[in-house]
Structure 1
Amino acid sequence: MATLVICEKNNAAQRVAGFLARGKYMKTYISKVPVFRFPWKDTECIVVGLRGHILNLDYPREFKNWDIDRLEELVSIAPLKKATVPWILNVIKDLGKQVDTVIVATDFDREGELIGAEAISVMELRPDIVIKRARFSALTGPEIYNAFDNLIELDRNLALAAETRQIVDLAWGAVLTRFMSTATGKQGSDFLSVGRVQSPTLALVVDREKEIETFIPKPFWEIIADLEKKRHFFARHSHGLFWEKEEADKIFEIVKDSKDAKITAAKVEEVAERPPSPFSTTAFLAEASKMGFSAARAMSIAESLYNDGLISYPRTDNTVYPHTLPLKSILGKLAQGEFATEVEIILKQEKLRPSRGPKQTTDHPPIHPVELATREKTIGDNWRIYELVVRRFLATLGPDAFVLRSEATLNIGGEDFIAQGHETLDNGWRDFYPYFKFTDVFIPELKEGETINVVGVRGREGKTEPPRRYTQGILIREMEKLGLGTKSTRHEIVQKLFDRGYVQGGQIRPTASGRVIIIALEDNAEQIVRPEMTRKLEEDMNTIAEGNQDQASVVKESQEMLAKCLEVLMANREKIRTKVNEALKNQNQMGVCPKCGKGSLVTRKSKRGKRFMACDAYPNCENTYPLPQFGALLPHAEMCKVCSGPQVKLVMSKRKPVDVCLDMNCKANKDRMKKSRKGKAAPKAKYVPKAKASGTKKSGTAKKAKKDIIDSIEKELSE
């Protein structure tokens, strides 16, 4: 009698084994795969961790070449399942022959269910083998004990929904990416990526940029009275904004010399402000974005904290704590550390009344802490994210904040003005959650019938402003609203746009290549960049998960949509090629060559595939610069502040952009190299030496210096 427990990753396997074995397990290795063994419930228990998906979808070998003339076939070709980590696959196959029960203990969501189902499908189990599912939302003792005491069935429909998504996304991504890349001659590492969810998301950014560019500011005027009673305060004309200057001037002439204001109405009310709702994945990423974290970086840290048993599962749409969540137990743990004061205030309330958000699901609770961490062990960004989760949890349990809201109507020269104020009476939950900023607006106590002094009346002219660019957090909120992607994939989609060089900046704006791809698709196959098609397919995935639709019908529907899009794209192939290549040419230009002053600096590739910067006036100008070999390369609007030479911006996944001066002799680069030498050893260099003019010879010392500088730049990007 033996039981095999399959976890999603090795660190999860070790934690699960540690709890079930009460810390007394034997760790062995099979083909370098860690395996944990111990006695459990009158049987031998074997726990093993995978590396996420052990199977991957791919097309048959004959479709490996990106042949544009075979894309129509690719639309309907069934992908093959291939092993991603064959040695782990072989290990679980062998272990499957030794057991009579298999428990899937992967993450409880669509992808986790599919990972477990994949493992079961390759194990060649006997028909009498019992297959069960352990469902938990945190890697803690109580959660694991409860999950293994209350095993459920594997949800095949949920796994099927995840597999359907893989099939659909592979087809759309492969067909559209291959079309766009081959049609424009951009293959290899320069390929142009297009995707079912990626492209509508990019379109949101491009459309917002168009709104900003075409926005025509509209002038407005308002009239403000400066008043005084003990302290200065102000009131605005009750009309609000005036869109006609003549109308504003007319009113201003009436009231400009007024010295008194009579209070004709006044009201004061005490208002309770409920705490913020618990963290869903989207809300968490939005808050982390305000702190300067990219969505991908924030999610990566959250996953690490989850695997360390410090927070609950970070992929959830839920914004309501289940009644079974042990709130007081969690508070008791937090009270042992630096959150003791906040916990004490919370527990002094007559009753814990956690706030509730708009969405309640049954898969996982909202993101919350499950164990106490310390700054000494959980350092840097990990602590910042952990503290954010803890403080949000504390805020949701905290007392209401109370605000005194005041409003008064004042008659000045026969015209009505409105004064509004709000004053914090009790910070309540705000004291636990310093990420919100509140500013009180003072107005004194005013009584109907009294007269106060008018210090002066002034007019203010302003202009309407264009809509703001998206931040990563706001973009993910918009994706959720439009049904683009899922809680598990949205941060990955946004990061892919940055990695491909389609968008840039904290206030996200499209690059030339990102913009032209969307324009080309909008002009020729608009369905690809609008959310309706993607949302419809997402809804289909949900119906599969619910058992109300079969995989074949959804895949067929997707293939029909894709075939129609491809037909239109093929008919406009030449037009797309011209438009895209023109935009890409402009994007690759990094400024005027400082050596000849005539050519433009552009990115090139050597025969070995290494990129470097060169003047496009070659052979008349042989000026070149070495470049780091990874990270997206974007033009920089400013010259180097140290040497006034050209510089570029390097962007790497989950890292802050780095400004790099192209002159390797610049003091900024030499200082970077010195700083790098003081730290850890730099990774192996990936650089291209500056090209040499015919008949010249560069010294080894000069080459070494440039290599060291490139090393230091790459190290800065990789840390």
Structure 2
Amino acid sequence: MSKLVIVESPAKAKTIRKYLGDGYEVTASMGHIRDLPASQLGIDVEHEYAPQYINIKGKEKIIKELKSEAKKADQVYLATDPDREGEAISWHLAHILGLDVDQANRVTFGEITKKGVTEGMAHPRTIDMDLFNAQQARRVLDRLVGYKLSPFLWRKVRRGLSAGRVQSVAVRLIVDREKEIEAFKPQEYWNLDALLSPPASQKKFSARLYGTAAGKKLEVKTEAEARAIEAALEGRDYQVTKLTRGSRKKVPAPPFITSTLQQEASRRLGFTATRTMRAAQTLYEGVDIAGRGTLGLITYMRTDSLRVSDEAVAGAKDYIAGQYGEKYVCNYKRTYKSRNATAAQDAHEAIRPSVPGLTPEEAEKSLSGDIAKLYRLIWSRFIASQMSDCEQDTVAVQVTAGDYQFRASGYVVTFEGFTALYEEATDEKEKKETSLPPLEEGQVLKLRELTSEQKFTQPPPRYTEATLIRGLEENGIGRPSTYAPIITTIIDRGYVEREQKKLKPTLLGRTINDLMLQEFPDIVDVTFSADMEKNLDQVESGRVDWRSTIDTFYKGFDAALQKAEKDMEGKKVKVPDEETDEVCEKCGRKMVIKTGRYGKFLACPGFPECTNTKRLVKDTGGKCPKCGSRMLLRRSAKGRVYYGCEGYPQCDFMTWDEPVPQQCEKCGATLFKKGSRLYCAKEGCDFETQVTK
């Protein structure tokens, strides 16, 4: 008997074919083969929101080949990815190939290994209609919002714009954060630090002013207050009045789920969410590994679950015991609670290496680039999650001087545990604890130096990709599998731009957000969107009919759309121009930033009287090491940032490395940053130093 197995991609087909052997043909559908039409709504609103699916243009040859292969086969198995999208592709394949959806012809693989493929083939099932309807409901809902709202924006703002159920909320979060930053008023405060050492010891430590000797916390808000305290401390003894010793344990982070993988890859590797998912897809589908053949290196990468199989845990612990010793093995089974207890993708395990014993060192003999980096990250995180806790001895000291109290704390690692391998990166700068010398209560310390420093409270930081993904996840907006395309969309539409890895709303983004808030408040309301996501999850669990979910939303949405059309009849929203300091040399006006077919450029606001335009460049504040002219930020034809001399073409100096405000200690020229080092590019100067944090 011949059996046909259909997957999405050729890479996945190649890996699976190796495990199935004779009697099986494995082919790829190349993703979706049917979808809603691109040129029209494709939803019959009057007849229970029936989708009008069509074969995707350009897939005719693949469909013909699939039909031919299916006709020759005695049995067809649909082995697309084990998620909503995969279930939908299988349903459409069944429709096109004339397969019975009530037959057990659907198989899924949590990992593309011999074990994973064998288990999947041994347990075929029928197509999960609840899972398919969940995908169908999201597709219909997103189509209704996109195809109804986008033309409205074209008419009222300009062509080429779009709005969406998740993307509009993401833009709102970024705009709201920018408004918080703009409204923030810095408050002055002062830190007073005493540099102290025990008697007859040269080891110093720093203690910070906490409050009064009685323990009441003080806030020093002005220089005058700081100076008064310094004067009051003149000649005072600094005595240890309380010493608290303790111990604590630090537990490892759980294995990755989709969202945390995207966040950590952004923080640690500088990857965009799209770049992360592209590399993860390759790792899941299969890579040739020397000595092992083609192998799927990780479990399925679209998951909300923190569950891990007993077999994988045992494999990790065997590796840890062999590499680090039994003391480093967690002696109980760690369980982690998912943030979303009703997670849509909880059918899968957490993201982990499919073969825990395959170390990054071995894998990297066959891997390179993003794939190697991401495998190391996933492997390290998973193995660390099965290691023992990090143990630390802590000490907190109170030092009294006159009427004031200073405090310091520190710790010593007594057993490194999982930190021998991996620690989770953070977005926030943590306050560093001081390393303390041996101290005793009642001890009088020697004051080495008392310093005061003016500080100002800081506004909330702009979102990065990592913190935006966390914000969307914490608010229950969208699903982790949608975050990468959403971020790409809002950047491509010009609503948001990256500025040194931070996401900043553009004037267009703010204009669209204000219009959406005014006319479609539900679409950009975080709570409303989160509730809609919960309703869609209920469709997946079979508790709610997908049509009624769409109907409840659409009636309110359609009414808001009709009202907006009436409110804005004959009106058009103008996107304000961003004024620059660049002066038009033809008429003297300040030039503005415009967006055209090939990106941003400078234009004179006096158009049509003045038609002057220029390439958009940005002064970095640095000076050219060859001629001393300004160094400008420019973009290549492919959009890559580089830095070039203002005097081009007379001066041809350019570099990919960013100029920094710091000057060379030898010759005074501008320094350039490359990785973790700063260097001088002036000819004949070899100055180099590390980046200071």
**Superposition TM-score tier, normalisation by shorter sequence:** 0.7 to 0.9
| Residue 347 of structure 2 is aligned to residue 363 of structure 1 | yes
| Residue 188 of structure 2 is aligned to residue 198 of structure 1 | no
Distance in 1 of aligned mates of 2:350 and 2:4: 30
Conserved 8 A contact 2:578-2:592: no
2:5 counterpart residue number: 5
Decide which of 511, 523, 526 is 2:518's aligned counterpart: 523
Conserved 8 A contact 1:263-1:410: yes
| Residue 301 of structure 2 is aligned to residue 321 of structure 1 | no
- The aligned amino acid for 2:242 is A
Conserved 8 A contact 1:276-1:355: no
Distance in 1 of aligned mates of 2:617 and 2:129: 49
SS of 2:467's equivalent? helix
More displaced 10-residue stretch of structure 1: 446-455 or 191-200 = 446-455
Shift of residue 425 of structure 1? 2.8
More displaced 10-residue stretch of structure 1: 208-217 or 418-427 = 418-427
2:394 counterpart residue number: 405
Decide which of 460, 465, 469 is 2:462's aligned counterpart: 469
Q: How does 1:265-344 map to 2 (within 5 A)?
A: 265-290=242-267, 291-308=269-286, 309-325=296-312, 327-328=314-315, 344=323
Distance in 2 of aligned mates of 1:595 and 1:99: 74
| Residue 405 of structure 2 is aligned to residue 432 of structure 1 | no
Q: Measured at CA, do residues 111 and 659 of structure 1 come closer, stay the same or move farther in structure 2, by a change above 3 Å?
A: farther
Q: How does 1:121-520 map to 2 (within 5 A)?
A: 121-125=95-99, 130-184=103-157, 186-187=158-159, 191-229=160-198, 230=201, 231-235=203-207, 236-238=209-211, 239-242=216-219, 245=222, 248=225, 252=229, 255-290=232-267, 291-308=269-286, 309-325=296-312, 327-328=314-315, 344-345=323-324, 349=328, 353=332, 355-359=334-338, 362-371=346-355, 372=358, 374-433=363-422, 436=425, 441-505=434-498, 506-520=501-515
SS of 1:288's equivalent? helix
Conserved 8 A contact 1:636-1:649: no
1:571 counterpart residue number: 566
| Residue 595 of structure 2 is aligned to residue 600 of structure 1 | no
Conserved 8 A contact 1:503-1:511: yes
SS of 1:447's equivalent? coil
Shift of residue 102 of structure 1? 2.8
Conserved 8 A contact 1:255-1:412: no
Distance in 1 of aligned mates of 2:560 and 2:90: 35
SS of 1:420's equivalent? strand
Shift of residue 292 of structure 1? 1.2
Q: How does 1:692-711 map to 2 (within 5 A)?
A: none
Shift of residue 74 of structure 1? 11
SS of 1:539's equivalent? helix
Shift of residue 210 of structure 1? 0.4
Distance in 2 of aligned mates of 1:516 and 1:635: 24
Distance in 2 of aligned mates of 1:535 and 1:556: 17
1:630 counterpart residue number: none
Conserved 8 A contact 1:647-1:662: no
Distance in 1 of aligned mates of 2:322 and 2:491: 40
Distance in 2 of aligned mates of 1:432 and 1:353: 19
Q: Measured at CA, do residues 347 and 313 of structure 1 come closer, stay the same or move farther in structure 2, by a change above 3 Å?
A: farther
SS of 1:528's equivalent? coil
Shift of residue 461 of structure 1? 3.5
Distance in 2 of aligned mates of 1:208 and 1:194: 19
- The aligned amino acid for 2:98 is E
1:101 counterpart residue number: 75
SS of 1:227's equivalent? strand
SS of 2:12's equivalent? helix
Shift of residue 157 of structure 1? 0.6
Conserved 8 A contact 1:271-1:405: yes
Shift of residue 544 of structure 1? 1.0
SS of 1:526's equivalent? coil
Distance in 2 of aligned mates of 1:135 and 1:656: 40
SS of 2:109's equivalent? coil
SS of 2:164's equivalent? coil
SS of 1:421's equivalent? strand
Post-superposition Cα deviations, 1:682-713, rounded to whole Å, max 9, x if no partner, equal xxxxxxxxxxxxxxxxxxxxxxxxxxxxxxxx
Q: How does 1:28-177 map to 2 (within 5 A)?
A: 38-39=22-23, 45-58=24-37, 78-84=50-56, 85-125=59-99, 130-177=103-150
Distance in 2 of aligned mates of 1:449 and 1:669: 64
Corresponding pairs, count = 615
Post-superposition Cα deviations, 1:618-673, rounded to whole Å, max 9, x if no partner, equal 67766566x8xxxxxx8746589656597655797xx865568899847559889x
Distance in 1 of aligned mates of 2:322 and 2:237: 51
Post-superposition Cα deviations, 1:548-577, rounded to whole Å, max 9, x if no partner, equal 111210111121132133134223426972
What percent identity do the matched residue pairs reach?
26
Q: How does 1:582-661 map to 2 (within 5 A)?
A: 582-583=575-576, 585-586=577-578, 591-593=582-584, 598=589, 600=591, 615-616=603-604, 636=618, 638=620, 644=630, 649=635, 657=641
State TM-score, norm by structure 2.
0.79
Task: Give the CA RMSD over aligned residues.
Answer: 3.7
Post-superposition Cα deviations, 1:109-128, rounded to whole Å, max 9, x if no partner, equal 1111111111112222369x
Distance in 2 of aligned mates of 1:442 and 1:364: 44
Q: Measured at CA, do residues 411 and 665 of structure 1 come closer, stay the same or move farther in structure 2, by a change above 3 Å?
A: closer
1:709 counterpart residue number: none
SS of 1:527's equivalent? coil
- The aligned amino acid for 1:302 is A
2:542 counterpart residue number: 547
- The aligned amino acid for 1:111 is E
Post-superposition Cα deviations, 1:136-172, rounded to whole Å, max 9, x if no partner, equal 2211111111111222332111011001100000110
Decide which of 524, 527, 532 is 1:532's aligned counterpart: 527
SS of 2:349's equivalent? coil
Shift of residue 436 of structure 1? 4.4
